[in-house]
Structure 1
Amino acid sequence: MAKQTLVTGGLGFIGYHLCKRLLALEPASVITVVDNLSSTKLDYTDLIGRLNITIQDVESLPDSLAEFDDIYHLASPVGSLGILGKSGRIAGNILDLAEKVAKIATYSKSRLLYVSSSEVYGRDGRHLESSEQIVPCKRGARMEYALAKLTVEHVLLNLAMEGDFQLRIVRPFNAMGEWQSSTIGFVIPKFFEAALAGRDLQVFGNGKQIRSFCHVSDLVDGIIQVQAKGKTNNIYNLGHPDNIVPIEELAHLIKELCASRSAIRHVDPVSLYGKHYIEAFDKVPNIAKAIEDTGWRPNIGLESGLARILNHYRAVADLQIRRPIDDNFPQNLNA
């Protein structure tokens, strides 16, 4: 019998790349994707006919949807700007999604991998999975998001200890890659699109914020390796600790890579996006646990990753091989 896999949020940025990798690694498996298209809008026509796609809210799924061997739960509000308009409702949404997926996993007695967030660390530093989480005295959409992700980790771990499903959790650090959305606040596509259009690259604050970017290709490999080899009921950091760069330096790198004449301008994000906006902490992952338990290591350096992204933008612009999803795009596509 063919392996059955469920990917929630499989048409978002990370989910799309995860589905493509799963199809390459497990061509005989049956993959079901459920997504409500609420975050990244990308052209997923290359997946049609290769997996089962259902466009609906995960919360509305029946607990007995199917008997899955593996579940990858990625469905979530996402993006520093994507969550702003949902302030006050972010936590409830994230918890409702997790509760539904836990019921589906319990029905199947499946392996469940939950994609959490490095936001749960809540402070600057190089973080281990065993680090204590400290809640800063801040109010805003990002803190609500972080606390909801952390709460779901605890909820799922408690449910999994009842023995109904096998749980593994990953905390991604600063993903980058092709098809990432600028409209929900991710900095690399915002910089690329500004540089290629000749607009100012807007750097928040003094630009000294530190990020550690991991290409999505490496990230989805890590997700798959944790699902396959990670220890049950364990949490794993996934990221590239060598790809550390201040945001202002990143802006210069992308401007030079694009041979752009754009200016780099410092701006106040709160004045642009309102009082609920909070800038991210300076987080760098310690990935020793993932390396030891799964053998996974990231391989794509920062400049190589940025070059891939530039090639993607050029391919889309020059060859017009993709188109954004619009309201007329088919809503239920079952292979």
Structure 2
Amino acid sequence: MRYLITGGAGFIGSHLGEALLGQGHLVVALDDLSTGDPGNVAAHTAGGRFTFVKGSVLDEALVAELVEGCDVVVHLAAAVGVRLIVDQTLGSLATNVRGTQVVMQAADRFRRKVLLASTSEVYGQSQDVPLREDANHVLGRPVVARWSYSLAKAVDECLVNAYHRERGLSTIIVRFFNTVGPRQSPAYGMVVPRLVRQAVAGEPVTIYGDGRQTRCFLHVGDAVAALLSLLGDERAVGGTFNLGSSEEISVLDLGRRVIELTGSRSDIVFVPHEKVYGAHSEEPLRRVPDTARLRSLTGWRPTRSLDDVLLDVISEVRANAAVTK
């Protein structure tokens, strides 16, 4: 089959493309490289089954051409990361809402299956932990720029569900909870690569807020395995699925774990959220997914622990540091 991956040179997109190529499929990656990296897909060209197209999901003619030439669309392209959303709210809204409109219109025109990458941010400030797919969207104050991402992805889900319900389009929605691993940039608020790079460099490990907020981190390899399972199962069509780990850890303990695993002598330094994200900032206290729906349908379970995730990232950061010396 021929897969179109929007955001295909990004962190998750590049790993998914690699896995699909390994299964013998053809892959076209569309990416404007605003946050993606050509180096992520440099090795994909071997074998002649991979095509990279530099362009935007806002380009209607280009998207239509690429969608027509594929069998399945995996729509990963989005403005992500709290730092990016706060700094570039207007552009992020355009990418995340209008970009999905463009992709869905083309998919409907050519009747292509679509998998939409959504996010745990759609739950907003909900504390109904573990978060089930049918949990309420509890939005914070609209003045807080962070919640524009939550709103945009909720609108994306509404669009996708409407195309499935009203037009009979085959769609799948996946809500990612803190997927991490090799190739993830520390920019834009991605906590694991940032902490690892600080610890490896012997710099202060910065914890935003008091560090009591908890998260669950899933290895990108396990995330890709889940995506492949859903894409290959017609029972997933029309469904929304949480994707994440159940291994909950506070950000403070995460920083301590990173220091321990790197053997670093870095100190932990606390930085107020307001100093990082501005006067209007809010941080959900817990983000723990309920993945029972995904497990029940596909049998999927994570195969890597948090330490496995961290060691993979540490290995990559050290390898990159050695190359740049």
Could you say whether these structures have the same fold, taking a TM-score greater than 0.5 normalized by the shorter chain as the test? yes
Q: Which of 25, 42, 47 lines up with 2:44 in the alignment?
A: 47
* 2:59 match: 60
Instruction: Please report how far the alpha carbon of residue 140 of structure 1 lies from its aligned counterpart in structure 2 after TM superposition.
Output: 2.0
Instruction: Please report how far the alpha carbon of residue 67 of structure 1 lies from its aligned counterpart in structure 2 after TM superposition.
Output: 3.5
CA RMSD across the alignment: 1.8
* 1:316 match: 320
Name the aligned partner's letter for residue 95 of structure 1. Answer: V
Matched, 1:238 2:243: yes
* 2:106 match: 104
Matches for 1:11-30 after TM superposition, within 5 Å: 11-25=9-23, 27=24, 29-30=25-26
Report if aligned partners of 1:207, 1:247 keep a CA contact under 8 Å in 2: yes
* 1:263 match: 267
Query: Relative to structure 1, is the Cα distance of residues 272 and 319 closer, same or farther in structure 2, using a 3 angstrom cutoff?
Result: closer
Higher alpha-carbon deviation: 70-79 or 47-56: 47-56
- In structure 2, what is the Cα distance between the partners aligned to 1:75 and 1:316? 25
Instruction: Please report how far the alpha carbon of residue 42 of structure 1 lies from its aligned counterpart in structure 2 after TM superposition.
Output: 5.7
Higher alpha-carbon deviation: 60-69 or 76-85: 60-69
- In structure 2, what is the Cα distance between the partners aligned to 1:105 and 1:53? 19
TM-score, with length taken from structure 1? 0.89
Instruction: Please report how far the alpha carbon of residue 33 of structure 1 lies from its aligned counterpart in structure 2 after TM superposition.
Output: 0.7
Query: What secondary structure sits across from 2:130 in the alignment?
Result: strand
Instruction: Please report how far the alpha carbon of residue 134 of structure 1 lies from its aligned counterpart in structure 2 after TM superposition.
Output: 2.0
Name the aligned partner's letter for residue 32 of structure 2. Answer: N
* 1:129 match: 133
Matches for 1:80-91 after TM superposition, within 5 Å: 80-91=82-93
Query: What secondary structure sits across from 2:58 in the alignment?
Result: helix
- In structure 1, what is the Cα distance between the partners aligned to 2:285 and 2:173? 21
What residue ranges of structure 1 are gaps of 5+ in the alignment?
321-335
* 2:179 match: 175
Question: Which runs of at least 4 in structure 1 moved beyond 6 Å after TM superposition?
Answer: none
- In structure 1, what is the Cα distance between the partners aligned to 2:53 and 2:153? 25
Instruction: Please report how far the alpha carbon of residue 176 of structure 1 lies from its aligned counterpart in structure 2 after TM superposition.
Output: 1.0
Matched, 1:221 2:225: yes
- Report the identity percentage: 30
Name the aligned partner's letter for residue 22 of structure 1. Answer: L
- In structure 2, what is the Cα distance between the partners aligned to 1:281 and 1:37? 32
* 1:199 match: 203
Report if aligned partners of 2:100, 2:156 keep a CA contact under 8 Å in 1: yes
Instruction: Please report how far the alpha carbon of residue 313 of structure 1 lies from its aligned counterpart in structure 2 after TM superposition.
Output: 1.7
Name the aligned partner's letter for residue 70 of structure 2. Answer: F
Higher alpha-carbon deviation: 55-64 or 248-257: 55-64
- In structure 1, what is the Cα distance between the partners aligned to 2:29 and 2:152? 23
Report if aligned partners of 2:113, 2:169 keep a CA contact under 8 Å in 1: yes
Give the structure, 1 or 2, with the largest relative contact order (CA under 8 Å, sep 6 or more).
1
Report if aligned partners of 2:222, 2:302 keep a CA contact under 8 Å in 1: yes
- In structure 2, what is the Cα distance between the partners aligned to 1:307 and 1:42? 24
Greater share of residues in helix: 2
Name the aligned partner's letter for residue 244 of structure 2. Answer: G
Instruction: Please report how far the alpha carbon of residue 68 of structure 1 lies from its aligned counterpart in structure 2 after TM superposition.
Output: 2.1
Higher alpha-carbon deviation: 149-158 or 44-53: 44-53
- In structure 1, what is the Cα distance between the partners aligned to 2:182 and 2:281? 25
Name the aligned partner's letter for residue 105 of structure 1. Answer: A
Report if aligned partners of 1:80, 1:185 keep a CA contact under 8 Å in 2: yes
Query: What secondary structure sits across from 2:224 in the alignment?
Result: helix
TM-score, with length taken from structure 2? 0.92
Higher alpha-carbon deviation: 141-150 or 272-281: 272-281
Instruction: Please report how far the alpha carbon of residue 138 of structure 1 lies from its aligned counterpart in structure 2 after TM superposition.
Output: 4.8
* 1:162 match: 166
Query: What secondary structure sits across from 1:126 in the alignment?
Result: coil
Q: Which digits, 9 at most, give the CA deviation of each residue in 1:163-199, with x for residues without a partner?
A: 3520000001111101111111111111011111111
- In structure 2, what is the Cα distance between the partners aligned to 1:24 and 1:319? 27
Instruction: Please report how far the alpha carbon of residue 21 of structure 1 lies from its aligned counterpart in structure 2 after TM superposition.
Output: 1.0
Matched, 1:297 2:297: no
Report if aligned partners of 1:69, 1:108 keep a CA contact under 8 Å in 2: no
Name the aligned partner's letter for residue 29 of structure 2. Answer: V
Query: What secondary structure sits across from 1:168 in the alignment?
Result: strand
Report if aligned partners of 2:57, 2:99 keep a CA contact under 8 Å in 1: yes
- In structure 2, what is the Cα distance between the partners aligned to 1:64 and 1:183? 32
Instruction: Please report how far the alpha carbon of residue 109 of structure 1 lies from its aligned counterpart in structure 2 after TM superposition.
Output: 1.2
